[in-house]
Amino acid sequence: MIMMLPFLTGMLAVWFGIRGQRRMCLSLWFITLVIFAAWCQVHMTDPLGFSL
């Protein structure tokens, strides 16, 4: 469910790009990049939840 948001914003960016709305397309691509960076930061700093 968490990964649905960046894929949704990426899909919307492609859709707006196809329609020729460049500003909205670039804005959504930037938002997608920020979301991916935020999730990457969360997953990199989380401790693993298993014991060896």
The DSSP secondary structure of 10-39, one letter per residue, reads HHHHHHHHHHT-HHHHHHHHHHHHHHHHHH
Answer whether residue 2 shows pLDDT above 80.
no
First-to-last C-alpha distance (Å) of the chain: 28
pLDDT the model gives residue 1: 61
- Residue 52: CA atoms inside 13 Å, Cβ hemisphere, count? 1
pLDDT the model gives residue 19: 96
What confidence tier does 44 reach under pLDDT thresholds 50, 70, 90? Answer: confident
pTM (2 d.p.): 0.78
Answer whether residue 24 shows pLDDT above 80.
yes
